[in-house]
């Protein structure tokens, strides 16, 4: 296996659209500036050694070999409420997928929070993080053959905010030809802002900042965001200060219609976990109703819309509750089954005291299923019947 990266896929001025670059190894390897994640109580702390900078448009690649074998390509979009995370975090290393399944894995950084989704007159229209993702897919189209990948067989997969990103990318006419299958994991598909909502929050950030955002320090922008967010007093666990904005390029005004119209016959695997809501402070015994309302029902409607529009749609649900974990089959629990390794996940509270051998055995079956879907559109689920993870 060969790891390549960080590789710069685009460059951008602050609050500017991304501009494509060639196969460029000059990246600093930074992730977008961010505050600590509210999911650290579930996932554990991320690698603190990664630098943070809004010059962060880079990606990493794991590949069996840089040859001409044209393997399936799996492009990962991380979650984090469009506020936190980074494709270069050790959690999202694609080494196990690559080694076991002979696929090329690309993990993408994109701009987050105020840097990627601020809407403020004269400064930024918003949705820059989604434009970054689109530019990363264009880079993959142009360059992935040099890394042993097949640009005609690309699957985009993502979880939480990354899963919502995948769903939105399905609805963008610009993505046709850039990817061919999609895996949507635990996506809050109803989470979106109107232009007016986004503008109101952008104005609140500007007031707390008291300066031109284009010249402010990253720390100052994060502090102004935190102060503006604290004043929102929202009660919804899925309400986030920054989210994709309907009707602002590249997102259509009628997102639901665009999602199904843009699917264009592409295969889609879409699902969630049984106890998603426990990651947001809901006790396990009370999590079922909120999980269904925020994830299960919206995901089912989304799948039905796609199927009615002619896409081939498969669903899954993760019921795995690691021994000793108070979170059950929580939001993010499937991530150690797909990406990263024992070292990167060993301190994750959501894994309780389950032995890594169990994580690895279930993980092998899960990785085989995901990679088979990426390869042919049909998951290999022959081993999943023995485990609390089902594909229909």
Question: Tens of pLDDT along 62-103?
Answer: 999 999 999 999 999 999 999 999 999 999 999 999 999 999
Residue 328: pLDDT band (50, 70, 90) is very high
Confidence (pLDDT) at 26: 67
Q: Which candidate in 276, 311, 334, 344 is catalytic?
A: 276
Q: Is 331 a catalytic residue?
A: yes
Q: Is 160 a catalytic residue?
A: yes
Q: Which candidate in 165, 331, 334, 344 is catalytic?
A: 331
Cα 205 to Cα 231: distance, rounded to the nearest angstrom: 11
Q: Which candidate in 160, 165, 315, 325 is catalytic?
A: 160
How much is the pTM? 0.95
* DSSP assigned state of 192: -
Listed as own residue / partner, the contacts of 217-225 with beta carbons closer than 8 Å and 24 or more positions apart are 218/33, 218/52, 218/53, 218/54, 218/115, 219/33, 221/33, 221/114, 221/115, 222/33, 222/34, 222/35, 222/113, 222/114, 224/114, 225/35, 225/113, 225/114
Question: Tens of pLDDT along 223-273?
Answer: 999 999 988 766 666 678 999 999 999 998 887 777 767 777 889 999 999
pLDDT over 70, % of the chain: 94
Rounded to whole angstroms, what are the CA distances from 95 to 3, 85, 101, 103? 8, 19, 10, 10
Cα 275 to Cα 269: distance, rounded to the nearest angstrom: 19
Residue 186: pLDDT band (50, 70, 90) is very high
Cα 265 to Cα 368: distance, rounded to the nearest angstrom: 23
- Does residue 388 have a pLDDT over 60? no
Question: Tens of pLDDT along 29-49?
Answer: 999 999 999 899 999 998 878
Enumerate the domain spans of the chain: 2-190+250-391
- For the domain spanning 2-190+250-391, the CATH number is 3.40.50.1820
């Amino acid at each position: 296996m060969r790891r390549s990266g960080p590789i710069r896929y685009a460059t951008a001025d602050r609050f500017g659209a991304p501009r494509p670059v060639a196969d460029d190894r000059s990246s600093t390897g930074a992730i977008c500036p961010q505050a600590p994640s509210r999911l650290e109580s579930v996932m554990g702390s991320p690698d603190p050694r990664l630098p943070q900078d809004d010059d962060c448009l880079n990606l990493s690649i794991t590949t069996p070999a840089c040859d001409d074998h044209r393997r399936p390509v799996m492009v990962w979009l991380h979650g984090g409420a469009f506020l936190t995370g980074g494709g270069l975090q050790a959690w999202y290393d694609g080494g196990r997928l690559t080694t076991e399944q002979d696929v090329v894995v690309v993990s993408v950084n994109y701009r987050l929070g105020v840097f990627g989704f601020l809407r403020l007159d004269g400064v930024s229209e918003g949705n820059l993080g989604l434009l970054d993702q689109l530019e990363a897919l264009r880079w993959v189209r142009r360059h992935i053959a040099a890394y042993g990948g097949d640009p005609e067989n690309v699957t985009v997969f993502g979880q939480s905010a990354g899963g919502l990103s995948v769903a939105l990318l399905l609805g963008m006419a610009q993505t046709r030809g850039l990817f061919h299958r999609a895996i949507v994991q635990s996506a809050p598909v109803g989470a979106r802002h109107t232009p007016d909502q986004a503008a109101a929050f952008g104005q609140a950030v500007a007031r707390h900042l008291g300066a031109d955002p284009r010249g402010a320090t990253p720390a100052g922008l994060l502090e102004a965001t935190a102060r503006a967010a604290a004043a929102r007093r929202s009660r919804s666990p899925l309400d986030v200060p920054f989210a994709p904005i309907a009707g602002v390029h590249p997102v259509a005004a009628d997102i639901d219609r665009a999602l199904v119209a843009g699917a264009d016959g592409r295969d889609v695997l879409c699902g969630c976990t049984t106890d998603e809501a426990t990651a947001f402070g809901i006790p396990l015994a009370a999590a079922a109703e909120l999980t269904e309302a925020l994830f299960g029902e919206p995901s089912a409607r989304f799948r039905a819309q796609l199927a009615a529009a002619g896409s081939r749609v498969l669903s899954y649900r993760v019921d795995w509750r690691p021994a000793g974990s108070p979170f059950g089959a929580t939001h993010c629990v499937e991530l150690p089954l797909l990406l990263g390794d024992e070292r990167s996940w060993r301190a994750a509270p959501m894994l309780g005291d389950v032995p890594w051998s169990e994580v690895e055995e279930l993980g092998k079956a899960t990785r085989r299923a995901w990679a088979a879907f990426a390869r042919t559109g049909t998951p290999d689920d022959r081993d999943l019947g023995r485990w609390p993870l089902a594909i229909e």
